[in-house]
Amino acid sequence: MVVLGAGPAGLTLGNVLIDAGIDCVILERTSRRQVQTRTRAGFLAENTVRILERHGLADGLRRRGREHSRCEFRTEDGRFALDYAGLGRGERHTVYPQQELVSDLLACFLAAGGRIRFETEASAVLDADTDRPRVLVRDRDGRPDRWRARYVAGCDGRHGAARNSLPPGAVRRHHSDHGLSWLGLLAEAPPSMPAVAYAVHGRGFAGHMARTAEVTRYYVQCERGTSAESWSEDRIWDELALRMRTADYGPLNQGRVIQRGIVDLESDVLEPLRHGSLFLAGDAASLLSPSAAKGANLAVLEAEILGQALIADLLRGDSAGLERYSDQCLSVIWRAQEFSHWMIRLLHDVPGPDSSFQHALRRSRLASLRTSRSRQNWFAENYVGV
């Protein structure tokens, strides 16, 4: 079994497989250091924690993760908070930085005797329509090499070799570019409140998300095409203060900006998630805008489903799970996409010829979330659920 990519999807899958005694190797383009320091997600759903616990992979997050169950909206019509642990299915988030989760998964995989090749980039998956697919790679010295396996799992993200190797027409890509961009920041500053805060403002969206006691993630909506470097630290903090309405609700803790990048809000789904012996999971299967914090959660869920199906096939000759894999994951993916799409329209004025109509709808959406208990229950169920 060859797994492409050592992100949350590839490493969860690797652990599930090796635990069942299945021989597998993970091929990873970057170095071990890069894999363990890539800062991205932080909010893990209860279902994600349950999956990781089932496979003995949750020790670190149980010890160092922090529970989170409150989010706040700051709007032109005032401020309101939702304690979502008391709504919907009563679930909470665990805040645990993705690089720590990836480091834990990697440590468990290696401790179980797992094989991983860092700085080994897959360039193509060949013969996926047979039962002996091949993966062409370049090793750390640039030398070409190849791997053969019964199955290949493409867990190598949206720009990986798995997606690029799909023959035209084999898989359909549903794509939406929301036309919006965020400047994503990590600041060396403690969180300013024990909540995720979403600010909706005439100048654009701003967000505050706790990561650790010392580091906070912020987002500032910016013009499409802006470079992250064109924002000075002064401008960032001024804009955050304005949009988060600190004059009304109190100051933000400020600190050095230690990481920044532009995120264009785009979503896509590949359908089906299988081409012969090649399976897609995580961002390789579907990309979600970070508005609803679902990507890493779906990656772990899909990896578990794929892992169990592969175990049944390889150890017991039962291929029913692999046949169901795509449909089973797609129903969850589309539900997450729908919620993420709704969040984008809750938090932004979407540009277009009917912008005043969209603006009024956005305010009405926020008003029903503020006042309707059934809307709040629906929100909580989808916000924490995967």
- Contacts with ligand RFL, residue ranges (CB under 6 A): 4-10, 27-30, 35, 40-43, 98, 121-122, 155-157, 160-161, 184, 263, 282-283, 290, 293-297, 299
Is residue 211 a contact partner of residue 201, using CB atoms and an 8 Å limit? no
217, two tokens = 């993630």
Sign of the Cα pseudo-torsion (273, 277, 281, 286, in order): negative
198 is catalytic: yes
Q: Nearest approach, Cβ of 41 to ligand RFL (angstroms)?
A: 3
Least CB distance from residue 117 to ligand RFL, whole Å?
9
Residue 206 Cβ vs ligand RFL, minimum distance, rounded to whole Å: 14
Question: Of how many residues is the chain composed?
Answer: 386
Nearer to ligand RFL, 204 or 282 (CB): 282
Written as six digits, the tokens of 224 are 């499409």
Q: State the catalytic residue, choosing from 84, 96, 151, 198.
A: 198
Whole-angstrom distance, CA of residue 24 vs CA of residue 3: 7
Q: Side by side, which strands form the sheet with 172-187?
A: 78-83, 70-75, 196-199, 206-210, 216-222, 172-187, 257-271, 286-287
194 in active site: no
- Residue closer to ligand RFL by CB (options 39, 254) is 39
**Whether 290 is catalytic:** yes
Tokens for 97?
């930085």
Compute the least distance from the CB of residue 199 to ligand RFL, in Å: 17
41 or 306: CB nearest ligand RFL: 41
**Rounded to whole angstroms, how far apart are CA atoms 133 and 219?**
42
The answer to whether residues 288 and 248 touch, using CB atoms and an 8 Å cutoff, is no
User: Shortest distance, CB of residue 139 to ligand RFL, whole angstroms?
Assistant: 11
Q: Which is nearer to ligand RFL, 6 or 49 (CB)?
A: 6
Quote the CA–CA distance of 317 and 131 in Å, as a whole number: 14
Instruction: Write down the catalytic residue from 178, 208, 275, 294.
Output: 294
Residue 174 annotated to the active site:
no
Of the two residues 301 and 322, which places its CB atom closer to ligand RFL in the complex? 301
Q: Is 84 a catalytic residue?
A: no
Among candidate residues 84, 290, 341, 348, the one labeled active-site is 290
Q: How far apart (Å, rounded) are the C-alpha atoms in residues 208 and 317?
A: 49
> What type of residue sits at position 251?
P
- The rounded distance, in Å, linking the Cα atoms of 297 and 316 is 28
Minimum distance from CB of 83 to ligand RFL (Å)? 19
The residue type of 332 is V
Closest CB to ligand RFL among residues 35, 245:
35
Q: Is 138 helix (H, G, I), strand (E, B) or coil?
A: strand
Nearest by Cα to 122 from 110, 97, 139 = 139
Catalytic machinery residues: 68, 198, 290, 294, 383
